[in-house]
Amino acid sequence: MPPLIGVTGYYLDKSETASLGSLGSLGRDLAVMSYDYTRSIERAGGIPVMIPLLDTMDVGSLLDRLDGLLLSGGSDVNPLLYGEQPTTKLGQVVPERDAFELALIRAALERDMPIFAICRGMQILNVALDGTLYQDLETDKGPVHYHAYRQFRKWQPAHPVSVHRDSKLYESVAYEELWVNSYHHQAVKSLGQHLKATAWSKEGVIEAMESTRHGYVAAVQWHPEMMSETDPAEQSLFDHFVSYIKRNQRS
Selecting among 214, 223, 234, 240, the annotated active-site residue is 223
CATH architecture of 4-247: 3-Layer(aba) Sandwich (3.40)
Selecting among 101, 119, 207, 240, the annotated active-site residue is 119
Q: What is the pLDDT of residue 155?
A: 75
Query: Quick check: is 119 catalytic?
Result: yes
Query: Quick check: is 223 catalytic?
Result: yes
Contact 73, 8 (CB under 8 A): no
- Rg of the chain over Cα atoms, rounded to whole angstroms, equals 17
Contact 26, 17 (CB under 8 A): yes
Distance between CA atoms of residues 216 and 198, nearest Å: 14
Distance between CA atoms of residues 251 and 249, nearest Å: 6
Q: Which sequence spans correspond to the domains of the chain?
A: 4-247
Q: In degrees, to the nearest 5, what angle opens at C-alpha 125 toward C-alphas 122 and 126?
A: 85
Contact 101, 124 (CB under 8 A): yes
pLDDT in tens, the chain (251 residues): 899 999 999 877 766 655 655 555 566 777 788 999 999 999 999 999 999 988 866 899 999 999 999 999 999 999 999 999 999 989 899 999 999 999 999 999 999 999 999 999 999 999 999 999 999 988 877 666 655 556 667 778 889 999 999 999 999 999 999 999 988 799 999 999 999 999 999 999 999 999 999 999 999 999 999 999 999 999 999 999 999 999 998 64
Q: What is the pLDDT of residue 223?
A: 96
Q: What is the pLDDT of residue 106?
A: 96
Q: What is the DSSP string of the chain?
A: -PPEEEEEPEEE-HHHHGGGGGGT-TT--EEE--HHHHHHHHHTT-EEEEE---S---HHHHHTT-SEEEE---SBPPGGGGT-PPPTT---B-HHHHHHHHHHHHHHHHTT--EEEETHHHHHHHHHTT--EES-HHHHH-GGG--B-TTS-TTS--EEEEE-SSSHHHHHH--SEEEE--B-S-EESS--TTEEEEEEETT--EEEEEESSSSSEEEESS-HHHHTTT-HHHHHHHHHHHHHHHHT---
Q: What is the pLDDT of residue 71?
A: 98
Selecting among 101, 207, 210, 225, the annotated active-site residue is 225
